[in-house]
Amino acid sequence: MLEGLTPPKKIPACKVRAVMNALNDKDKEALKSALDNPDWGHQSLAIELNKRGIFISEHPIRKHRIGRCSCNA
């Protein structure tokens, strides 16, 4: 009956998703808009977020934008 029982696959949290989940709806929409805007470079967006107390580097932003984070797993 329990043959093949295995634990669920652990999916590491995406830093961008974690940040988004911690924001209120207005800020979440602003960040989503910035992520979708090609005028925001990965590094410049990370710098501006850090200035506003949201500590994230350009690497998770880049991975999220190109679909290489756990959001697409």
47-57: pLDDT as tens digits: 999 999 999 99
Dihedrals phi, psi of 66, to nearest 5 degrees: -95, 5
Name the residue ranges covered by the structural domains of the chain: 15-72
The yes-or-no verdict on residue 12 having pLDDT over 90 is: no
Block residue for tokens 């949201």: 54
What is the C-alpha separation between 23 and 41, in angstroms, rounded?
21
- Residue 17 CA: distances (Å) to CA of 26, 38, 65, 70: 15, 19, 11, 9
Q: Is the dihedral of CA 52, 31, 61, 38 positive or negative?
A: negative
Residue with the bigger pLDDT between 32 and 6: it is: 32
Average pLDDT, the chain: 93
The yes-or-no verdict on residue 73 having pLDDT over 70 is: no
